Amino acid sequence: MDRRGFIKTCTAVAAASLASPSFFLSSLKAQELELKPYKKAVLLKKDGTPLKPEDIDPAKQYIFFYPYRSTPCVLANLGKEVPPTEVKLSNGTSYTWQGGVGPRKSIVAYCAICPHQLSYPTPEFSFINYYPENIPSKIVKKGGIIQCCAHLSVFDPSQGGRVIDGPAPFPLTAIVLSYEDGKLYAVGTLGKELYEDFFDAFKPDLRERYGSSRKAKQLVDKCEVIEVNEYAKEVIRC
């Protein structure tokens, strides 16, 4: 897609999605991009009530599990409007990422499985984390990034999860969010997925944690959102 076409597409998607939350999904399908719809899942607070955009502190990072009960995602409020952008892959293909959602279009979510060697947050450790502006990375000397301390891959959450630095071969998988009637929903993924690799690599751990592989692969229709430091005993930053 050339620049004129890209800008035209982004403008059309942004304008139309304001009128109809479902437009973005149908538009992406029409473009044959890498959208993968899953169950529509409402994001909830710990007390079971819907998570509202104002509940998401820009100075903190959050975790939820989607589209499967065992696959972690990072949720962040970048504190500013995040416009749609084109995400390019090393094989020359690209797709349009929707940008932020919510009243300020500042809320984003990504799969928290590193595309390099599948590092992911566990109840014991979280090596891959969002660094708010007030907690800058020691490696790249800035905040507003997602970084995996296992092998120092760095991603830009304001640019569809593109790789800024490190060995990761492609961007983080984006979680497609929608904002409807004051509620936030996860509705699918965008970008290259690694779920099958994840299930194969960590089969023993997932069986122990969830009881069986089948249970670990259950799709969800609601997601509890908590702070990462409430989930993992140790948050590893670098």
How do residues 219-229 score in pLDDT, each as one tens digit? 999 999 999 99
> Rounded mean pLDDT of 49-70?
97
CATH of 34-235, one of 2.70.210.12, 2.102.10.10, 3.90.190.20, 2.60.120.560: 2.102.10.10
pLDDT of residue 138: 92
Run of H or E residues at 205: helix 203-210
Residue 90 above 90 pLDDT? no
The model's pLDDT over 128-150, given as tens digits with 9 standing for 90+, comes to: 999 999 999 998 999 999 999 99
Look at the block and give the residue holding tokens 């290259």.
Answer: 192
What pLDDT is attached to residue 30?
Answer: 40
Cβ atoms within 10 Å of 158's Cβ, excluding its own? 20
- Looking at residue 16, its pLDDT comes to 38
The stretch 110-137 carries a mean pLDDT of: 96
Closest CA to 195 of 218, 211, 212, 179: 218
CB 118 within 8 A of CB 111: no
Per-residue pLDDT at 2 exceeds 50:
no
> What pLDDT, on a 0 to 100 scale, did the predictor assign at position 33?
52
Q: What are phi and psi of 4, to 5 degrees?
A: -60, -45
Measured CA to CA, the distance from residue 78 to residue 133 in angstroms comes to 9
- Give the DSSP H/E element, type plus range, for residue 201: helix 195-201
For 7-54, what is each residue's pLDDT tens digit? 333 333 333 343 344 444 444 444 445 789 999 999 999 999 999 999
Instruction: Please count the CA atoms within 13 angstroms of the CA of 28 that sit on its side-chain side.
Output: 24
How much is the mean pLDDT over the chain? 88
Of the CA atoms within 13 Å of residue 40, those in its CB half-sphere come to: 9
Residue closest to 57 by CA, chosen among 122, 123, 110, 135: 135
Burial of 146: CB neighbours in 10 Å, binned 0-12, 13-18, 19+? buried
Rounding to the nearest 10 degrees, give the CA dihedral for residues 191, 84, 79, 56: -50
The residue to which tokens 């194969």 are assigned:
200
Contact yes or no for 202/22 (Cβ under 8 A): no
pLDDT on residue 34: 72
Cα distance between residue 228 and residue 30, in whole Å: 36
